[in-house]
């Protein structure tokens, strides 16, 4: 992911394009005669509610990037879920066309905010303080998760690929320590090396209940997890389970303590 795009010279290469194209592809799903009443698999929402949430979330992130902070829960999964439900109850748009237009417009608004402000300046988000650039990775991650849900519900191909998954890593690795499960990490000492097919990698170290995530792999890792990128993101977002991924050959494990691998997904709670 070396190189920079021309949005105040600070976005990782390809991130601005990925945000625009993902928003456009989600909008196209909705504009193809989508049944907005159809249930989303694994969710309490239907297509209309999921699309409305996505439109609202894009607006929230665009406003944060523009320096207009808004409260939305306290970062815990329960609080975020409650805030999402309150926001949906106050927003009654469920038609495909207006929601598709809003999803695209608010993704563009985020990118416009970057043109008008320094990308490395920090902003306060529902998942903590981060730079506007990492917020873009958060925006992409969120769109990919719900875009996948909408594609499944509507029987269409999803838009997640290796290149887009790699662009989610600045957000994913930043937020992992914040979303750890303290019960499951308590007393665990371990060094994980996580390698995505194609070259992206990061290290996760647990000690004394603390979790550290770095772009560098730890020396002499206890467990190395080699995982197909789309599978990694779907597991991280709670859309795919580890057993089925292993059965499909999407995960390989080795190291001095390979039995630590099955514990890894449960150390984190998808927000």
- Where a domain ends, among 146, 168, 190? 168
Q: Going by C-beta distance under 8 Å and a sequence separation of 6 or more, which residues neighbour residue 224?
A: 192, 193, 194, 195, 253, 254, 255
Q: Is the pLDDT of residue 83 over 80?
A: yes
Same domain for 241 and 143:
no
Lowest mean pLDDT among 10-14, 104-108, 200-204, 261-265: 10-14
pLDDT bracket for residue 9 (50, 70, 90): very low
User: Is 153 in contact with 38 (CB distance < 8 Å)?
Assistant: yes
User: Is 166 in contact with 215 (CB distance < 8 Å)?
Assistant: no
- CATH number, domain containing residue 60: 1.20.120.450
Q: How many folded domains does the chain comprise?
A: 2
Q: What percent of the chain has pLDDT over 90?
A: 78
- CATH number, domain containing residue 191: 3.30.1050.10
What is the model's pLDDT at position 78?
84
Whether 64 is in a domain gets the answer yes
Same domain for 198 and 64:
no
Same domain for 158 and 185:
no
**Tokens 């929402």, residue?**
45
Q: What count of other Cβ atoms lies within 10 Å of the Cβ of residue 84?
A: 18
What sign for the dihedral angle of Cα 111, 14, 119, 52? positive
What is the model's pLDDT at position 10?
59
pTM, entire model: 0.93
Same domain for 149 and 33:
yes
Helix, strand, coil percentages in the chain from 3-state DSSP, rounded to 5: 50, 15, 35
Whether 4 is in a domain gets the answer no
* Rounded Cα gap, residues 42 and 86, in angstroms: 20
What is the model's pLDDT at position 168?
97
The closest of 236, 222, 87, 229 to 162, measured between CA atoms, is: 229
| Per-residue model confidence as pLDDT tens digits over 191-249 | 999 999 998 999 999 998 899 999 999 999 999 999 999 999 999 999 998 888 988 99
Whether 173 is in a domain gets the answer no
In this prediction, residues 74-99 reach a mean pLDDT of 92
In this prediction, residues 61-86 reach a mean pLDDT of 88
What is the model's pLDDT at position 5?
43
Q: Which DSSP category does 256 fall into?
A: S
* Rounded Cα gap, residues 137 and 164, in angstroms: 9
223 is in which domain, residue-wise?
Answer: 180-267
What is the model's pLDDT at position 13?
87
pLDDT bracket for residue 7 (50, 70, 90): very low
Diameter of the chain measured on Cα atoms:
54
Same domain for 131 and 31:
yes
| Per-residue model confidence as pLDDT tens digits over 112-153 | 998 887 677 899 999 999 998 899 999 999 999 999 999 999
């Amino acid at each position: 992911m070396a190189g920079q795009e021309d949005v105040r010279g600070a976005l990782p290469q390809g991130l601005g394009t990925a945000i625009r194209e993902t928003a456009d592809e989600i909008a196209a799903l909705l504009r193809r005669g989508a049944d907005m009443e159809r249930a989303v698999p694994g969710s309490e929402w239907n297509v209309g509610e999921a699309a409305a949430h996505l439109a609202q979330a894009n607006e929230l992130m665009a406003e944060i990037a523009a320096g207009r902070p808004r409260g939305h829960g306290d970062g815990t999964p329960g609080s975020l879920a409650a805030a999402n439900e309150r926001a949906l109850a106050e927003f009654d748009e469920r038609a495909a066309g207006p929601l598709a237009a809003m999803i695209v417009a608010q993704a563009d608004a985020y990118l416009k905010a970057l043109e008008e402000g320094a990308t490395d300046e920090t902003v306060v988000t529902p998942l903590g303080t981060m730079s506007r650039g990492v917020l873009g990775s958060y925006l992409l991650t969120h769109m990919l998760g719900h875009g996948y849900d909408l594609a499944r519900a509507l029987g269409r191909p999803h838009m997640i690929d290796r290149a887009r998954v790699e662009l989610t890593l600045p957000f994913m690795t930043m937020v992992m320590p914040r979303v750890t499960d303290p019960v499951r990490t308590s007393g665990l000492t371990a060094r994980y090396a996580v390698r995505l097919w194609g070259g992206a990698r990061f290290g996760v170290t647990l000690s004394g209940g603390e979790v550290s995530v770095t772009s560098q792999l730890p020396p002499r890792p206890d467990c190395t997890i080699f995982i197909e990128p789309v599978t990694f993101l779907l597991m991280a977002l709670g859309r795919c389970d580890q057993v089925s991924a292993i059965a499909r050959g999407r995960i390989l494990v080795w190291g001095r303590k390979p039995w630590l691998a099955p514990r890894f997904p449960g150390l984190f709670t998808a927000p």
